[in-house]
A and B are shown apart, each in its own frame.
Chain A
Amino acid sequence: MSKVKVENLTKIFGRNPKGVLKKVKDGISKDKLLAETGHTVGVNNVSFEVYEGETFAIMGLSGSGKSTLIRCLNLLNKPTTGKIIVDGKNIVDYSNKELKQFRKNKVAMVFQHFGLFTHRTVIGNIEYGLEIKGISKKERNKIATEILSSVGLEGWEDKYPNELSGGMQQRVGLARALANDPDILLMDEPFSALDPLIRREMQLELIEIQSKLKKTIIFITHDINEAFKLGDRVAVMKDGIIEQIATPEEILTSPASDYIREFVKDIDKTRVLQAKHIMFKPSALVTPRDGPKVAVKEMQKNGISSLFVVNHERILQGLVTIDDTINAIKENQSLTDILIHDYHTTGPETYIKDLIPNAGSTKYPIAVINENNKLLGIIVRVSVLSSLV
């Protein structure tokens, strides 16, 4: 379900943004507009949708308009034209009072340089949103303390932000945003100011928090790896325009422009592609009720030397090899007698990089199964190993 829907959003900075709107629509270049009229185009006719519970990453280099765009979503920037529909209501039309309510209840923001109130303690910062909402002192202290421990900041309540390291400051920033229990979390390059190790830690923590809370997250970054790691879908921005919106795999496999192709060139595919992207539907399967002869015939037909055995609900039972099956025919055994289990299984969302050691150590295909042991597909070793090059 669509939570946020942006339609033809344009944001122009300058003395008379509406006046130059027509020129922008006619496709004047950014530089020319600046030279002629002194106006800057931040965001140019952007449309996209963000679904409920999704992490939507907006990726772009500096000056691409991504920060301008995210500030439009809580109207810190007033759009020049366009609609922003949240839960069916166009927030651009909101009155001052409605806007305040919207900001208090529906949306919270995390900032690149944290934006913490240096005159307030950690707990005071986290309580800020609740204070504005008019929640009683006791209640907000209780909520803030809970959130504080959920981001691992126990014992730091009464410190001032500047006494904390960068990583911890951003935890406070995140906690402050979460304390308000917003539906939508806007994150403006939240981890860019952190050093790489802390950044990775924070990314994992965000993934963990998100798996619990299921917020709708709009995440800005200039780092394509980060966008691919965190984003369910990724929008790539350039010069105020969205060049492509797609899942990381789609962007990786079919980039929409040379610009994006250039970007994804250096991406480590094994960190983006998952088991489900490279598995294929097994063309041959047998059930235990089928005799060994059927199994041999299947293997012969498909030119393979082993076969997965599933029951009629496609629950994985085991694997038979050609040698064992021929033996079984001779000795009149059934398939259940010769099942072997020393193959690897994996979930559909495992990253390929985690499959590489497995693929190297087995001679059988890897079975992709869901949590009920149902066989979803198989991955042959060659497709894992070939993605390395």
Chain B
Amino acid sequence: MIIPTLQKVGIITLHACEVKKNTMSSFPDSISFKVGIYVNSLVNWLLHNVSRLFEAISEVSIWILLKIEIFLYWLPWWFFLLIIFLIGWKAKNIVSGLIFAFLIFLIGMFGLWDLMILTLGMVLTSVIISLVIGIPIGILMSYSSKVNNIFKPLLDAMQTMPSFVYLIPAVMLFRLGKVPAVFATIIYALPPVIRLTDLGIRQVHREMLEAAHSFGSSSWQTLLKVQMPQALPTIMTGINQTTMMALAMVVIASMVGAPGLGMEVMIAVSQLDIARGFEAGISIVFLAVIIDRLFQGVAERFKYPE
């Protein structure tokens, strides 16, 4: 009884749609403007004319990446676990420390230790470069409303653009491998640290700034002795978010040939290997949780009594 009624309704609606569709309801093909090709030629132009710059960026990031990887591979595995345990203990409590160390131990037992180190290496590199770029930009934004007006929409775009999109120019500029992965990751992970540095500095109480100025502090002194320490808890939150986003992006960046846990997931997906995909996936979750909790614990230490 009900089904025929529904069908009727369906038919009626279908008819209504068809009736409505006249010549003005679809956008005319004759009015067309493609912005994509300009972006394309911009990337091409960059590639041909400023390749030196990209080589330099490439070399710097490879250098940092290499140092970090050498260090991480130099650490004995049990020492790595010990460090995780100790930081967890200091930052939160002894139980957390044990759990964190055990989770990392699990990753090792999955046979994903080396891949984890690769992933961590890329995350650390991206985060370090992001901070070096992001914190000064954040400071500039908080100081000048002009800089703020320029960067706000840029940051919005950076955050809303699907993360895959960054991979295309990254590959064109840096070919395949770790460098385009790090590059795309930096772009994707940069906004939080910039935004929260800006916010943290803007939030400093006006009277506190007046007090600093009233004692004859220079702008630098005010920044270093008052604004930055006051903004530090907020900046720490930004660094945490940046790190989390970097981890997410490094996984996606496996599409352009970045080795690590992400690559493992990719392979598992292409082979429909549930077991392999789950182990790699859960390892990424473990890493994310541990990094987040450790950061929160450390950030807590930076707070002053309220």
Please give the residue numbers on chain A whose beta carbons come within 8 Å of chain B beta carbons, in ascending order.
71, 74, 76, 99-104, 107-109, 111-120, 128-129, 131-133, 160, 162-163, 176, 180, 186
Contacts and interface: CB of A to CB of B under 8 A. Distances in A.
Given A118-B304, A162-B305, A128 B215 contact: yes
A162 B306 contact: yes
25 contacts: A76-B213, A99-B216, A100-B218, A102-B216, A109-B211, A109-B214, A111-B210, A112-B207, A115-B205, A115-B207, A116-B208, A117-B229, A118-B208, A120-B229, A128-B211, A128-B215, A128-B225, A132-B215, A132-B216, A160-B304, A160-B305, A162-B304, A162-B306, A180-B215, A186-B214
B217 interface: yes
Given A118-B304, A119-B304, A76 B214 contact: yes
Contacts of B211: 109, 111, 115-117, 128, 176
A117 B215 contact: no
Nearest to A107: B214
B210 A103 contact: no
A116 B215 CA distance: 12
Interface of chain A: mostly helix, strand, loop or mixed:
mixed
Contacts of B210: 71, 76, 109, 111, 115
A117 to B, nearest CB: 6
A103 B230 contact: no
A132 B217 CA distance: 6
B215 to A, nearest CB: 4
A146 to B, nearest CB: 18
A136 B232 CA distance: 26
A101 B205 contact: no
Nearest to B207: A115
B208 to A, nearest CB: 5
A176 B216 CA distance: 13
Given A99-B216, A117-B230, 17 more contacts: A103-B213, A109-B214, A111-B211, A114-B207, A115-B210, A117-B212, A117-B229, A118-B304, A129-B216, A132-B221, A133-B216, A160-B304, A160-B305, A162-B305, A163-B305, A176-B211, A186-B214
Residue among A71, A119, A120 with max Cβ neighbours from chain B (10 Å): A119
A101 B218 CA distance: 11
Nearest to A71: B210
Nearest to A118: B304
Interface residues of B, number: 21
B214 A74 contact: yes
B214 A119 contact: no
A111 B207 contact: yes
A160 B230 CA distance: 13
Contacts of A163: 305
B171 interface: no
Residue among A111, A117, A163 with max Cβ neighbours from chain B (10 Å): A117
Interface in B269-306: 304-306
A176 B210 CA distance: 14
A151 to B, nearest CB: 17
The 9 closest A-B pairs by CB, nearest first: A103-B216, A115-B207, A115-B211, A104-B216, A119-B229, A129-B215, A109-B214, A100-B216, A160-B305
Residue among B212, B214, B226, B305 with max Cβ neighbours from chain A (10 Å): B214
Given A76-B213, A103-B213, A160-B304, A117 B208 contact: yes
Given A76-B213, A103-B213, A160-B304, A115 B208 contact: yes
A113 B305 contact: no
B127 to A, nearest CB: 24
A118 B215 contact: no
Contacts of A115: 205, 207-208, 210-211
B305 A104 contact: no
A74 B306 CA distance: 30
A120 B225 CA distance: 9
A147 B114 CA distance: 59
A108 B207 contact: no
B124 to A, nearest CB: 27
Nearest to A125: B211
Interface in B108-137: none
B226 to A, nearest CB: 6
A108 B214 CA distance: 6
A74 B213 CA distance: 9
A363 to B, nearest CB: 57
Contacts of A101: 216
B214 A103 contact: yes
A248 to B, nearest CB: 28
Residue among A100, A114, A118 with max Cβ neighbours from chain B (10 Å): A118
A163 B207 CA distance: 19
Interface in B214-270: 214-218, 221, 225-226, 229-230, 232
Contacts of A99: 216
Contacts of B205: 113, 115
A20 to B, nearest CB: 23
A289 to B, nearest CB: 63
A319 to B, nearest CB: 56
Contacts of A176: 211
Nearest to A162: B305
Residue among B210, B218, B226 with max Cβ neighbours from chain A (10 Å): B210
Contacts of B208: 115-118
Contacts of B229: 117, 119-120
Given A132-B221, A162-B306, A103 B207 contact: no
